[in-house]
Each structure stands twice: as structure tokens, then as C-alpha cells.
A and B are shown apart, each in its own frame.
Chain A
């Protein structure tokens, strides 16, 4: 009989390798014709995630071809396709959130406990990961619409759980330093949890439809079901079934007796406990096994003697059950449908005290009896794990789902076994997979924060580099989102990204006319040039309108915190001058104006206008500029005129205005001298 691998979950990579666009870029089946008509496809990668924009493209222009080219309707079509959406699709949001929380907690524990996390902590975290996977399976199974996608997701999550659970069995529950837990109970529990058999409904159907032993014994499924129970180690259930069938009239007294004997053997199967020594357990086990050996021999004799009798099927099944339970490799192999079943039965009945380090050898023996070419991806991942071939294990896991190797590699790192992979792989596996997962999450509007965390918790420069690139590309759709991105930058010390985002926000606000907010963002980015440009815009608007309207903008900026920028200081001081002048306090206004000019607070392009502003004060009834003040004003005017780098602003003050200024200065100087 051909043997198959664990085929309950078909997680074949080919299913994910091809993405079909429908309707296609080209009409189906006309690819060659299109190609001959000067067409190919062009594309552009999406900056976040693995998406692309795809379009039909001309290879050459008509002008180059020198002939007419047919026009097709799809020539105009563009597809914007986002890959990896499944990794963060709506159906997975809860799973992403739950497991991200566990992942983040694990990193915190690691920081608190040192380089390696204790096995107990890791086991707790592992249980949380597994619970999240199971919850996701239940969620998907309860979905109102059972589509092909949902079915594939269920398969994927069940496969992920099977892999993670076995990892827990091999590396956490049984293989931790200082533990000497036998592998068999854990492995059989793993097997029966992830690949339950025989199906519970088979048992219900068999037992519920048979009110008494005779009816049960007549059921054709009874003995195959009993054999499967034995193979899977369901010895208590086996005992119940055998005890119910034993009184059947169609069974001979001998067959009934052996059914009861095997039922009792099932109930008496030795189970190890922490309180019992290995020697004591082995002694009990040998005695139990010897009893089964005797039973098997006796039943076989009966079966040979009664090969054509009414008991033949029952005796054959009882013999097989006894052989399986005594650990006969041939009997186990005959009954087992998968390598995992066979390995489970061998561990349970032949190697009950074997520890995890025996698993690679035992797995090798078992696998020799199976056609590994038929194995599914899940099989290959599980076998690689049992063989402690961790690099291969991670590669297969990566083909099942990107979530799996990212979290497994992280867990392996925490318990100190990832260095095995680092020695043979060309890149750091933990970061390799965390980056892949982080990128997939970052591309999704609901999971981008988790994505940044996965990238931020990488330890190699590659992770940080990708984190920076991703952070600055997250669309800043709202102020709230922008603040969240900035907080992430702070969390991971992304100074340059933070500045870049502030510059981007500054540009956004500037475009929308929110100049105060724009200055605030540019100040955060220490972009003095942009702040200067906005201040110049405010100054230009004032000059054009003649109304000083930038006051609230400046007040808003200053209220948000101290800003030390020459242009801002200039605008603030000028506003003070303006208000004093309007209030009639010409003396104060004059002193402010003078200080703006003398301290060189004013930008060169504004000097001429300030000098013109001084004319009414110079010509006023009251003398508000002393002779020294007036001379200082005149020096400013002289510097402006004699500057080797004439500014455009200097040119804005007309010759006439400067002449008036000069005359006003001369008059004021005379008055000031006379007064003094």
C-alpha cells in the first residue's frame, strides 16, 4: 500500500506562487499575439510592502517601428496590486494584534532577564502564541462565508499550530537543559491534538448506533476503529470499546476473554510520573509488555486454529491490537497511515522513556518506510524540526507563512539555539524573517504600528535601515497618525527619520496655509531655511497688504515653545514696534526699530523698509531719536547703499524714499543737537 505523508493540511507553496490578474493584463491565450504586437508589461514597485503597479506597455514607439500597431483596449489599464495583504488582511487583524502583544512582551522579558529567556517564560509565551492560532482557526471556522480563501487560511493556521506545537514539544517541554521528560507522552499528545484520529464522530456513530454488545460486534467498523485507537494510544477508549463488545454472543469465549484481557491491559498501561524512579517505571513497563507479548502469542495461536471460524476477524484484530501495544514495529507500520502516527506509536509502545535527543534517530528509521517525495511542505517542516535541522526547518516554515519563521526564529534566539542557523546561513535568520513580516505589516493601514515594532526590534543594521525607510514612507493621512509615527521614531531613536517626517508635515501645513504649525514642524526638524522662507512669506504679505496680520501665527508658534530663529525674532520685534507705533508710543517704537536695525535682527532685504518706517518718527513733533540714534540710523542706510552685495530688497526702496530718509535724518539730527 503506498504510504502518504501527513496530508490533512495541504500547504503547498505552488498555491501561492502565482498571482493571476482577472481580467488579465492580456486576454487569456493571446499572450503571443500581444507580444508580437510590440507589447510587454511594465511595473513599478510600491514603496511599502511587496505590491506593484502593473500595466501593458509598448516596447517601442510607433515612430521607431515604422509601421502601424494595433490598439487594444487593455492598453490603457493599470493594475495596482498589493502583495502580502493576507499577512495583514482584515481577517487576521485580531491575530496580528494578539501575537504582536506577545512578541513585544517577550522582548521586554528578555531585556529584563538578560540574553536568554527562562524556559518557563518561553513556555508561557509559546502557549499564548498557540492559543492565538487556535482562536484564529475557530474564528475562521465560524465565518459566515466559507470561501476558498477562508479554507486556505484555516489550513495555514492549523499547519502553523502543528509546527509551533511540535517546536514546543521538542525544544521547550522535553529538551530543555536539566529536564529529563520522556518525549512519548508529549509527542502523542501533539499528534492527537493536531491530527486527531480516529475521528470522534466515527466512535459516536459506532457506539450510539449499537445498543448492546451483539449489535456492536456486528458493526464492520468496530475492529478497524479499535486498531486505530490502539495505534494512537487511546488506551482508555480502547478498553471501553473492547469491554462493550466482549459480551457479544457472536464472539467465542476465548475471543471475549482476550478482548477483556486487552481492555484491562489498556487500562493498566504504565504511565510515568515525576514521583517514580526510572528503574521502577521500567520494571512495571517490562512486566506489562511481557503480559502483552504472551497475550499476542496466545491470540495468534487461536487465530491460526480458527482461521475460517466466525471469530477470525475479531481474533485478527485483537492480535493486531496486542502486537501494536507490545511495540511490534511491523504491526505498527501496517496500521500507521502517516510517518507521524508510526513515530508516535513507536515512542509510546517501544521507547516510552526516550527523550527528545532520540527523536532524530527514530524519525530516520520511520521515514525509511515512507516515500518522502510525497511529503507536503508541512511534513518537510516537521521532519526537519525532529531532525534538529533548524536552517531547513526555518526555510520550510517561511514557505508556510511569513508569521511562522519570524516568531520561531525569535523564540529560538531567546532559548539560545539560533546560533546553529547563524553559522550556516548567509544572513541573520531572526532579522531576515522579522524584516519580511514587518514590511508586510507596515504596508497595511491597520497593522503598520506592529510592523514598525517588528522592524524596530531587529538587531542588525538591516532591520534599522528598513525601519527608517518604512517610517518615512508611511502616509501621514492625519495629525493623529503623524503623531503615532513620530512616537515610533522616538521609541527607536530614528532621529533622521523624525526630522524628515517633521519636514514633510511642515510642507503639508505650509501648503494648507497653516504657517504657524508649519514653523513648529520645521523647528522640530531644525530646518532654519524653511522657517526663514515662511517668515519671509509673512513679511512679504505684510508689505503687500499693509496690514500686519501675522501676529496670531507668531503667538501660536511662541506658545508652543521657545524658538530661536533670527527671522522669528525679527517678526516678533517688528510686531512690537508696530503695536507701539499704533498705540502712539513713538519713543518706545523708535527704540525697538533702532534695536532691530542695529542688532542686525532684520534680514538684509527688510532693512530698506525699516528705514522708511523710521521717517515718520524722525519727522514727528517729538524727538524720539537722539543724535546718536540718528547717526546709527544713517550708518544702517550707508551700509545698505554701499553693500557690495546689493539685495533685491535694497532696490525696493526707491531713490526718492531714501532721499526723504536722508533729509529726515539731517533734520532730526539738527533738532537733536539743538535740544541737547
Chain B
């Protein structure tokens, strides 16, 4: 790799037999899970300058779209979702490695996206499928996996899911607010109906309801991502789409005057040159990475004036200009 800032790069072959669809680092950034069209998941230990292949997990009968590491308080747990319509929960146990501890097969079409809830909400996995449904898989105190399904979440399929931070925006700046308001139970979904939906938990119904539908994209939503809450007075949601746009949606913290503030849409930049496939926030929520169909990843940061500016770009090889 060439760059002028002495960054560290480790590169290695994943030994998959077909295209990769996702790669995820665990909570500490020490293990990498990759998944592929060959139906397998490969696990690697990555440590700065070296990597070690750990094992290959085979359990799906179709391409594996995404993998997601659970919070380590639940043990060494990995979830995977596949074109075969199933979600598998894998757990690492001493001596036997990763084994499937649960198979979720209630979807009737490809499961395209999965996301673990913030650990404060317990071991809850959110799944979005081409069968237009969203399901919530919860490991209950009784030791069983409970499934809640939201039918017709998006008319023509769900492509992306993301959990909101459990601490409400503005809670850090209002003493005691975090405790008094309780944990936020909210997630976003993006679908092939070009819309983004925000779902909130209703204590009355004991289920998630649509709180808001965010319209603005003109083609399939490809990814949605809530930014972690680092104490800012508003909530940030990034969405990207087949329409080549990335929008940053912000919502001010609720106040006595306005309990449900409107979401404000800000384009990240001019339209991207191609379909935007993925958006992802850094752990502290201040850097947004965007993967575009032109095969470039750009990193964006909100500057001191509240404007979004590109801070870096990762692209194909070639010596630096």
C-alpha cells in the first residue's frame, strides 16, 4: 500500500470459493468474519501486521449476505443471514469452536440484513427480508428464542436495518434524563419501496410500530445506519440508495414543547457517481464511511461548523499523485 501517512495495511485472501458479501470486525477489532456466495463464513484473527485463519462455518444452503457479532457480554456469538431465507446464530464454545445454537427459519425469502440490538436491550437480533417482513429474534430469560414478526414492513422487501442508540439524544446534557426517560427502543429499516421507516416500541402493544416514514430517496434503499450517541443534542441517521444519494437525517432531542421533532434531511454531497451500497458510522459516531458503486469508499466528517466534508477516500491502486 502506498500512502503518505504511514497507515498500516494487512491484506490476505479469505479462501472463499465465491464472491464475498460482507466482512465484519468483532467488538475489539481482533476477529474478522467474512461471508460469501459460497454459503460459508470464514473467521480470521487479525492483529495489526498478521492474520490467522480460525475456521470456516458452514450451515447455510445459499449465499450469506451479512454477518453480525453480538456484544461480548453475551459470549462469543455471531449471527448470519442468507439468501436461503434463514438466520443462524453461532456460538463459540471452548473445545468445539463455533456451532449453531439457533436456526431462525420463519422468513419465506432471502434475509438481506441483520443487526444486533444495543446490548442494554438484551440479546435481540433484528432481521429484514425480501418477504417484506422484519423479525425480531429475542433470547428470553427462559432460555428460548422468541420471534416477533412485523408483516409488510416494506411493500417490496427489506434491504437494510439499523438500531437507534438506546440513550436518547440530549440525555447526556440533561442531568438524570437518561434515567428518567428510560432506554430508547427504536430501529430503522430501508426497503425496495424507496422509503425509510423508523419503528418505535409501544409499551401498550408490546410491539414495534411505525413512528415515522422518511421519504426522499427515489430508488431502492441500500443501507440505513443510526449514528452512535456521543452526547450530541440530536439523533443522526444515514441512508443510502440506488438513486446515488446519501442523506443525513437529523432529529433534535424531544423537548417539553415538541415531543416528536421532525426529521431534517441533508444531502451528504452532490449525488455520488454510482449506486451507494453501504453507510457505516465510526464507533464514536463522528465519521461516516460510504461505499459507492464506483468502487470507492469515502470517509466523511461533520466539521466544527456543522458541514459534512470528505476527509479521506480509499480507492484502487496506483501510485499516489
Contacts and interface: CB of A to CB of B under 8 A. Distances in A.
Given A81-B1, A148-B4, A425-B305, A44 B83 contact: no
A19 B7 contact: yes
Interface stretch (A69-77, A314-322, A541-549): A69-77
Contacts of A47: 25, 27-29, 283
B320 A20 contact: yes
Interface in B273-321: 274-275, 277-278, 280-284, 286-287, 289, 291-297, 299, 302-306, 310-321
Interface in B4-49: 4-16, 18-25, 27-30, 32, 34, 37, 44, 46, 48
Contact of A461 (B19, B172, B291, B294): B172
Given A80-B10, A80-B51, A469 B283 contact: yes
B291 A40 contact: yes
Contact of A55 (B4, B8, B34): B34
Contact of A391 (B37, B304, B319): B304
Contact of B284 (A63, A80, A435): A435
Given A76-B20, A78-B14, A465 B230 contact: yes
B22 A57 contact: yes
A22 interface: yes
Contacts of A63: 62-63, 83
Nearest to B288: A45
B72 A507 contact: yes
A84 B20 CA distance: 27
Contacts of B289: 43, 45, 52
B283 A26 contact: no
Given A50-B299, A53-B25, A63-B63, A86 B7 contact: yes
Interface in A448-473: 460-466, 469-470, 473
Interface stretch (A28-36, A126-134, A135-143): A28-36
B94 interface: yes
A249 to B, nearest CB: 55
Contact of B72 (A44, A395, A504): A504
Given A22-B317, A23-B317, A50 B282 contact: yes
Contacts of B275: 40, 59
A43 B298 CA distance: 11
B86 to A, nearest CB: 15
Interface stretch (A328-336, A426-434, A637-645): A426-434
B9 A82 contact: yes
B255 to A, nearest CB: 17
Given A18-B315, A20-B3, A79 B10 contact: yes
Contacts, number: 300
Contact of B295 (A31, A426, A460): A31
Contacts of A62: 18, 37, 63
Contacts of B310: 17
B295 A45 contact: no
A586 B13 CA distance: 67
Contacts of B14: 55, 76-78
Contacts of B195: none
B21 A35 contact: no
A53 B23 contact: yes
A461 B231 contact: yes
A75 B9 contact: no
A16 B231 contact: no
A58 B20 contact: yes
A563 interface: no
B173 interface: yes
B28 A58 contact: no
A152 B3 CA distance: 11
A58 B11 CA distance: 19
Contacts of A424: 305
B304 A427 contact: yes
Contacts of B29: 46-48, 51, 473, 475
B230 A61 contact: no
B75 interface: yes
A390 to B, nearest CB: 11
Interface string A1-42: 000000000000001111111111111100100110011111
A83 interface: yes
Nearest to A462: B231
Interface string A100-141: 000000000000000000000000000000000000000000
B259 interface: no
A439 interface: yes
Contacts of A610: none
A16 B5 contact: yes
Contacts of A500: 73
Nearest to B314: A19
Given A16-B5, A19-B7, A85-B8, A43 B291 contact: yes
Contacts of B172: 461-462, 464-465
Contact of A24 (B232, B282, B315): B315
B128 interface: no
B2 interface: yes
A51 B15 CA distance: 23
Contact of B6 (A59, A149, A432, A507): A149
Contact of A39 (B281, B295, B306, B311): B295
A120 B103 CA distance: 68
A3 to B, nearest CB: 26
Contacts of A419: none
B12 A77 contact: yes
A43 B278 contact: yes
A16 B4 contact: yes
7 contacts: A18-B314, A28-B318, A41-B295, A75-B16, A80-B32, A461-B173, A475-B29
What are the 6 closest A-B residue pairs judged by CB atoms, nearest first? Answer: A24-B317, A58-B19, A461-B172, A461-B231, A24-B316, A462-B231
Given A51-B8, A427-B304, 6 more contacts: A17-B312, A19-B7, A25-B316, A42-B22, A42-B278, A464-B172
